[in-house]
Amino acid sequence: MRSARCAGWVLVLAASIGLWASRAGAIPAFARKYGFQCTMCHVQFTKLNDFGVAFRDNGYRIMGKEAEEKNVFETPTPVSLRTSAGYNNDTFTNRGGEAADVRAFQLNGLDLLSAGLFSDRIGYFMVYTPEIKGSRSVAAQDGTLEMASVVYGVRSAPTPLTVRLGRFEPAYLAFSAKRSLTVAPYDVYDFAGPDGLAMSDTQTGVEVATVLPCRLKLACGWVNGNESQPSSDSPSGLYLRASRTQRRGEGQVVGQRAGVFAFFGRSRLADGTGNRESIRRLGLDASLNFGQTNVMAQYVKGKDDAALNAFDPRRDYDFSGGFVEVNHSFPREMVGFARWGWVNTPAEQDQDVKGWTLGARYYPEMNVAVHLEYAKREVDHGADEGTSDLEETIWTLRADFAF
């Protein structure tokens, strides 16, 4: 009875928010500032289009319009919100007590966003996720300042140079984990080996990024960790990323983009000595566009020093993974997506991950998406006698909205 009442609340709230958002044509912080539709910067929210990428690269300033920009004190309240509500079915087989099934209507987290300019050269972007204690009707969420960065625009478009300081999504992520169209995560980005570096985590540090006239985009950064493995004082490191787009565009909606990245860091051993050992990640990525179809591909290879290899300290910990995603924009505000991803762990661990997801998003309004997705994820427990593979099946139908 109690959960039925909670579910009722959830549905009423979702419906009223959707109605409000629709009536008001409400739009998040940047869109409200400029009076734009969400699709100025997003292919379909949340994925950025080429304009959106260029806008971010230009320190949250409209390219060529830097002199006309207004700061946060001259514009509407630079606050927006994103959440989603709907039915989640997340079930496990052979879990061995690792996780509980969910079959319920739920609110799925809440992001509070603020973004804008403090001055003509200094922008900021902030995402706060309040702590939500999970219940049957509300998905649990850790409270954290997920992103909070200040960006200084040294040089403007078309060859911007920016310095970003704070907590942000580093440039080594070719495809933003925060702006993925799918509910299912990019497994290779989420995968944290014994070193504790999960690429999808935001990082705290500094990043310098620029675009050269030859359409070569470069970024380098120095970051000092994330929260994937706080007990071992998460890894810190330096990274470099280079990407280039063939033909016009940023490779998001138009143009063909290829990129590489390298991360070199050191992770503290869990033995209490305070010693650190080296870790590294190398990656290749491509984003290809064919009409309304975008193909994204990522390959990552990781190697940690043997001292970090909890499974076999005699050998370096080697793993690799990647994904290929195809999404296609259909007429009438619909996008379909499919992705196959994998992570191959070392033989001594033998917990390879394979996953795929399939789904679609329909946008009755530009800031409201009806999201349907079916995903399967399998963790191989083959080497562990007596333990069967873990299989997770997710399907969800939800309304995803930002306003």
Q: Is residue 271 within the footprint of other proteins (CB under 8 A)? A: no
Closer CB to other proteins, 26 or 199, in the complex: 26
> Does position 40 bind other proteins by CB under 8 A?
yes
In sequence order, the 6+-apart residues with CB closer than 8 A to the CB of 167 are 145, 146, 147, 148, 149, 202, 203, 204
Residue 68 binding other proteins, by CB under 8 A: yes
Exposed / middle / buried, residue 34 (Cβ in 10 Å: 0-12, 13-18, 19+): middle
3-state secondary structure of 60: coil
* 378, amino acid identity: E
Is 260 or 288 the residue whose CB approaches other proteins more closely?
A: 288
Q: Sign of the C-alpha dihedral, residues 146, 337, 392, 400?
A: positive
Among positions 4, 15, 19, 24, the unique one binding other proteins when judged by CB under 8 A: 24
Distance, CA of 147 to CA of 58 (rounded, Å): 18
Closest CB to other proteins among 91 and 256?
Answer: 256
Contact window for other proteins (CB under 8 A) among 126-134, 224-232, 376-384, 386-394: 126-134
Binder among 80, 200, 226, 234 for other proteins (CB under 8 A): 80
Task: Measure the CA–CA gap between 331 and 136, rounded to whole angstroms.
Answer: 36
* Binding of other proteins by 110 (CB under 8 A): yes
**Closest-CA residue to 320 (of 269, 380, 280):** 280
Rounded to a whole number of angstroms, the minimum distance from the CB of residue 187 to other proteins is 29
Site membership for other proteins, residue 248 (CB under 8 A): yes
d(CA 60, CA 173): 19
| Contact residue for other proteins among 192, 254, 326, 358 (CB under 8 A) | 254
331 binds other proteins (CB under 8 A): yes
Give CA–CA dist 58/141, Å, rounded: 32
Counting contacts by CB under 8 A, is residue 364 touching other proteins? no
CB of 230 to other proteins, least distance (A): 25
Q: Could you check whether the bond before residue 202 is cis, i.e. omega within 30 degrees of 0?
A: no
Shortest CB 5 distance to other proteins, Å: 7
Token digits of residue 183: 């509910």
273: its two tokens: 């000595």
Exactly one of 11, 102, 132, 208 binds other proteins (CB under 8 A); that residue is: 132
Is residue 212 a contact point for other proteins (CB under 8 A)? no
Contact 113, 29 (CB under 8 A): yes
- For other proteins, the binding residues (CB under 8 A) are 2, 5-6, 9-10, 13, 17, 20, 24, 26, 31-40, 49-51, 54, 58, 62-65, 68-70, 75-77, 79-81, 83, 107, 110, 112, 130, 132-133, 135, 137-138, 157-158, 248-250, 253-255, 289, 291-292, 331, 366, 403
